[in-house]
Structure 1
């Protein structure tokens, strides 16, 4: 089977910009008097590496407690707009029309929509009535890499067809004013909204090929990352120190995944990694024995956009492509499961 080629990539963010210093000040007002030893945790905001990020609602909207219906309405409106913007740009970059899309893969874990997002925007986009829809939920931060893997295999299965991958996450809607937990404070300091779209086709054009893909699922790690669902909506689960986990566990996992691809770590010219936060980036560099500062695109994206979950690694891939990819790159992301998802990219100079 001929590998899928990456024809285009585009990203999108909502219009509302939140400066990290303003979020930090607001968090003091919300949690400072109610959270034991809050002052000890407040430094998290300055240690993330984030300067600004984007949200689908104005800043003040998040300062009032919102229930599930309000969050869902905001999700539908914001996610649909980001989907259309990212997808439209990616298709234009590939010189395609929405009617040329044969399959759309939609990756999202921060809201629930039934009918799914792809159906809700189908008329606005101009998709054909016979389009194949593949909505994917629950991959979290690994969704950008796993979604690319899923989309590439669908492209391989039907050579010559156009596969559109859209990842859209509205992490800001999971901000909880009622949860006085360290996990909620960390989420408030990190997460943001954004979308990315990729067009793939097998057997026809494209300098960047999806060479192989694989995953590693660690046993007994359901408590590392995920959602807790209650009447108010999603609440974040972060119950282990992820940088420490990355430092000790990432390299052995990637070695196993690459082994199944018939590759070694030494075969990788560039790593393109979901950053999580500044400390996670440092941990990745340590785990993979990379020189400090090697993951410059990761630090730039986290500074400019925060952690947008699934789309984030595709924002980093966009920057890496603009600078020029080496012959082989490995795109990696960690997410609920706890899972490492990897995609090997071959690029022709």
Structure 2
């Protein structure tokens, strides 16, 4: 296990403390909609199939079975029927499958979110599209704009490389944009087909962990500027955001990209870094708004896995039930990378909507190593 020494952030002034206070600007989350592939499998059903893909014939499967049993995942959705994965062959075929499935799921997610918000595709002024599990040029957003019926002058921003943090970072960047464009409507689309990155005949621990934890799906979020927002739905208001990079931790998470495509990097030291270093920047962010962790009633946390969630709970001194919504999402669909935190946010609607006026904190972590915080109010 390799964990670098990290500079103590406590001595560093925050960006907010170095700048004069700006006028308050808010963004309303008008809708969140998740789209899942139709191919759904129970976790124990996937275990042996993934063993067939990743392990040599006759290899011991005890570690694989322990990993699958320990993730807290009960079921996952896959982009393709499980029987098709063995025949994908090379990266090109996997990426072609990614483009086809990503476009279908992305269209479902965005159309569903706009319908939920009572808007038309022509109302969208900015479309941000994130994925880290495949590549396309023209990008997914360019291909989807016409399929969905968006205006030819819609602004587009394709994003690659943020990984699991992108759901939170994407919402934060939508907020940044809408603060300067208060009459606009912006959409964030995250599409992650993690199963198509699984490496065949690779029995490394990182590949086996990914095969036990990650699922496929897409999620779209509609956000509106303060001049046009209507507080008629379940969604919260974004009050502020904060990004944080942890020095000398680039090796902890990401891809090694080669002829076989994306080979996952997941360092065993991630929970330790979270446990020791998440608390300081998050508490500083809350303090800049006169808040503490005790003021946050709703925690919308990316489901990095059981060990990461335990580390988050310990680092912030949270009661175990604070992350129940995250654990429910993990059990139902697995870790869908950037789409997961939006799936968790969607779970805080309808009967589970927080009490109006209460504070929430949406957060995720990802390659960099980094974290993103979004302060919400219902």
Task: Please indicate, yes or no, whether the TM-score normalized by the shorter chain is above 0.5.
Answer: yes
Moved over 6 A (4+): 34-37
Tell me which residue corresponds to 2:4. Answer: none
Q: Deviations over 1:55-91 (max 9, x none)?
A: 1111111234531210111111011111100100110
Is structure 2 residue 98 aligned with structure 1 residue 104?
no
RMSD value, Cα: 1.8
Q: Does the 8 A contact of 2:164 with 2:367 survive in 1?
A: yes
Tell me which residue corresponds to 2:317. Answer: 289
TM-score (norm 1): 0.94
Q: By how many angstroms is 1:36 displaced?
A: 8.0
Q: Deviations over 1:96-143 (max 9, x none)?
A: 110111111111111111111011112210011111001111110001
Which ranges in structure 1 are unaligned for 5 or more consecutive residues? none
Tell me which residue corresponds to 2:78. Answer: 55
Q: Which of 226, 242, 251 is the matching residue for 2:270?
A: 242
2: distance between equivalents of 1:17 and 1:291?
Answer: 32
Pairs within 5 Å for 1:193-342: 193-203=216-226, 204-206=229-231, 208-322=236-350, 323-326=352-355, 327-342=358-373
Q: By how many angstroms is 1:187 displaced?
A: 0.5
TM-score (norm 2): 0.87
Q: Does the 8 A contact of 2:194 with 2:336 survive in 1?
A: yes
Tell me which residue corresponds to 1:113. Answer: 136
Which ranges in structure 2 are unaligned for 5 or more consecutive residues? 1-22
123-132 or 269-278, larger mean C-alpha shift? 269-278
Q: Deviations over 1:16-43 (max 9, x none)?
A: 1122112212233344557987524531
- Tell me the secondary structure at the aligned position of residue 317 of structure 1: helix
Q: By how many angstroms is 1:253 displaced?
A: 3.0
- Tell me the secondary structure at the aligned position of residue 271 of structure 1: strand
2: distance between equivalents of 1:109 and 1:78?
Answer: 14
| Cα 1:293/1:129, change in 2 over 3 Å | same
Q: How many residues get paired?
A: 347
2: distance between equivalents of 1:220 and 1:228?
Answer: 18
Is structure 2 residue 38 aligned with structure 1 residue 15?
yes
2: distance between equivalents of 1:76 and 1:54?
Answer: 17
Q: Does the 8 A contact of 2:74 with 2:331 survive in 1?
A: yes
Q: Does the 8 A contact of 2:73 with 2:331 survive in 1?
A: yes
Q: Does the 8 A contact of 1:278 with 1:302 survive in 2?
A: no
Q: Does the 8 A contact of 1:168 with 1:195 survive in 2?
A: yes
